[in-house]
């Protein structure tokens, strides 16, 4: 195996295969970020005199070619090469000779992987943010479109009080704002430059870390080099917690849709193309998409715990345990992006039943409305409550189905504009 650390002793093939694990697969998505970090590092080395202008130009040109190969999908981590960092340095050396060997001065694979992962997570957070905002806007549009359509509200799984599709869709929109705050907070943790911390203790070269921080677009650096290395895992856990919050929102929405799609409820429907059938029951329209949204969202909520357990009891400094962070988090990122896309697709095609409350079984939804009408007319609340309760018990309650809720956030005052302003304030806060 080609390793940057080889000192002349051949490594055991089985041990090598075990330690490399699935890194080749996950490293490919980091290749462009490793090249970006290398480009910034080369420019910095030239600024401090460790590379000549000619050497820096040669390295920069070759790194640009490698970036093009990554973009074209032809870059590979070759069999027998330990990781993406090794592949890039060995390729440079093969193509331009000894100048390629100079690129590693002042850094370690430890701060390389830290830099790669942070750059990768910044891009993924931006993509997730965009998808969350798109879903938010869709939910708000549905909320406004169905603001007049009443819907049973439940507590303890029992019919409780009138709700509306406007409230239901709007609730998920506003909840996504909270999730977005967590996501952007995670980005604040991620958006710090570790390059130059080397193996976690800096080095004797006069590195210009301010330069690489600006060149790579980080908002600031991890100043303390030990703290920089300690951010391995901390960044991943912060992002996973934010992702888990988004997943929890999608999970609850999926659970609602599964329930509401059941013929026993009949509150919503979807086109036949978005539901599945049964191999023996010709009438079935199964909510398989929503069931998988529910299941995969639950799995995503386990990711922060899996990362926490991986990192438990590790003293400061790098440990090979951290290699497994990629195979925990990277698939989770892919899953969340898929879930946001398919949720958006499903809601594009949702149909709501606007006449649910015509069914007499929902008459008791309006008991609180009747109690409140009597209180507004001057009756004490407890007396009004007793009288209406007695009517229900005697089977004599006759509902007035007019619903007049005017306070902020209620059926008649959805505060769509104010919730939109919350989102905008969140996005301004990130800037």
Q: What is the DSSP code string of 16-31?
A: HHHHHTTHHHHHGGGH
pTM for this prediction: 0.91
Q: Which residue has tokens 């490793």?
A: 34
- Catalytic-labelled residue, pool 14, 41, 143, 156: 156
316 has catalytic annotation? no
Q: How many CA atoms lie within 13 A of 247 on its CB side?
A: 26
pLDDT tens digit sequence for 403-418: 989 999 999 999 999 9
Q: Which of 199, 245, 238, 191 is nearest to 216 (CA)?
A: 191
pLDDT of residue 164: 96
pLDDT of residue 18: 56
pLDDT of residue 5: 46
Indicate the burial class of 4 (C-beta count within 10 angstroms; 0-12, 13-18, 19 or more): middle
Architecture of domain 13-105: Orthogonal Bundle (1.10)
Q: How far apart are the first and last CA of the chain?
A: 45
Q: Are strands 158-164 and 192-193 parallel, antiparallel or unpaired?
A: unpaired
Biggest distance spanned by C-alpha atoms of the chain: 95
Return per-residue pLDDT of the chain as tens, 431 residues: 445 545 556 565 565 565 556 666 788 999 999 999 999 999 999 999 999 999 999 999 999 999 999 999 999 998 888 889 899 999 999 999 999 999 999 999 999 999 999 999 999 999 999 999 999 999 999 999 999 999 999 999 999 999 999 999 999 999 999 999 999 999 999 999 999 999 999 999 999 999 999 999 999 999 999 999 999 999 999 999 999 999 999 999 999 999 999 999 999 999 999 888 666 776 778 889 999 999 999 999 999 999 999 999 888 888 888 889 999 999 999 999 999 999 999 999 999 999 999 999 999 999 999 999 999 999 999 999 999 999 999 999 999 988 989 999 999 999 999 999 999 999 988 65
- Catalytic-labelled residue, pool 2, 262, 278, 316: 278
> Are 278 and 200 within 8 A, CB to CB?
no
Residues of the chain with CATH 1.20.200.10: 114-191+223-358
> Are 209 and 196 within 8 A, CB to CB?
yes
E strands within 73-171?
A: 150-155, 158-164
Please give the C-alpha separations between residue 397 and each of 52, 103, 181, 330, 414, in angstroms, as whole numbers. 90, 82, 46, 57, 29
Q: Which of 95, 264, 136, 121 is nearest to 188 (CA)?
A: 121
What's the CATH code, domain 114-191+223-358? 1.20.200.10
Residues of the chain with CATH 1.10.275.10: 13-105
User: In the 8-state DSSP scheme, what is residue 321?
Assistant: G
Q: Which two structure tokens, joined as six digits, stand for 283? A: 């009438």
156 has catalytic annotation? yes
pLDDT tens digit sequence for 273-314: 988 866 677 677 888 999 999 999 999 999 999 999 999 988
SS (H, E, C) 312-332: CCCCCCCCHHHHHHHHHHHHH
Phi, psi values for residue 410, rounded to 5°: -100, 180
Distance between CA 254 and CA 292 in Å, rounded?
A: 9
Distance between CA 95 and CA 98 in Å, rounded?
A: 9
């Amino acid at each position: 195996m080609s390793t940057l650390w080889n000192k002349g002793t051949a490594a055991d093939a089985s041990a090598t295969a075990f330690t490399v694990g699935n890194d080749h697969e996950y490293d490919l998505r980091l290749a462009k970020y490793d090249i970006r970090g290398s480009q910034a590092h080369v420019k910095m080395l030239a600024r401090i005199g460790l590379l000549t202008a000619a050497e820096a130009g040669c390295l920069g040109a070759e790194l640009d070619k490698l970036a093009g190969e990554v973009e074209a999908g032809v870059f590979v981590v070759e069999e027998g090469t330990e990781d993406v960092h090794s592949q890039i340095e060995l390729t440079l050396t093969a193509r331009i000779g000894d100048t390629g060997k100079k690129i590693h001065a002042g850094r370690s694979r430890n701060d390389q992987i830290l830099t790669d992962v942070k750059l990768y997570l910044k891009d993924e957070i931006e993509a997730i943010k965009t998808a969350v905002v798109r879903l938010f806007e869709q939910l708000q549009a549905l909320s406004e479109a169905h603001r007049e359509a009443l819907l049973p509200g439940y507590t303890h799984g029992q019919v409780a009080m009138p709700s509306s599709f406007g409230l239901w869709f709007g609730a998920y929109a506003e909840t996504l704002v909270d999730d977005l705050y967590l996501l952007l907070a995670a980005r604040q943790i991620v958006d710090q430059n570790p390059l130059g911390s080397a193996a976690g203790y800096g080095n004797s070269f006069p590195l210009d870390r301010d330069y690489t921080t600006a060149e790579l677009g980080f908002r600031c650096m991890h100043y303390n080099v030990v703290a920089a290395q300690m951010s391995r895992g901390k960044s991943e856990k912060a992002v996973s917690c934010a992702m888990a919050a988004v997943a929890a929102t999608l999970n609850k929405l999926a659970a609602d849709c599964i329930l509401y799609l059941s013929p026993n409820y009949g509150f919503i429907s979807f086109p036949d193309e978005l539901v599945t059938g049964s191999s023996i029951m010709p009438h079935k329209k199964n909510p398989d998409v929503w069931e998988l949204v529910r299941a995969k969202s639950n799995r995503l909520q386990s990711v922060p715990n899996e990362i926490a357990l991986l990192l438990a009891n590790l003293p400061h400094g790098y440990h090979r345990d951290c290699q497994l962070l990629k195979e925990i988090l990277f698939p989770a990122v892919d899953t969340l992006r898929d879930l946001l896309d398919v949720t958006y697709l499903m809601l594009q095609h949702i149909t709501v039943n606007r006449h649910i409350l015509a069914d007499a079984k929902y008459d008791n939804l309006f008991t609180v409305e009747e109690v409140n009408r009597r209180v507004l007319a001057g009756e004490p609340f407890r007396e009004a409550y007793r009288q209406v309760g007695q009517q229900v018990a005697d089977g004599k309650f006759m509902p007035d189905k007019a619903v007049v809720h005017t306070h902020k956030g209620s059926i008649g005052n959805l505060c769509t504009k104010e919730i939109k302003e919350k989102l905008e304030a969140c996005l301004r806060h990130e800037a």
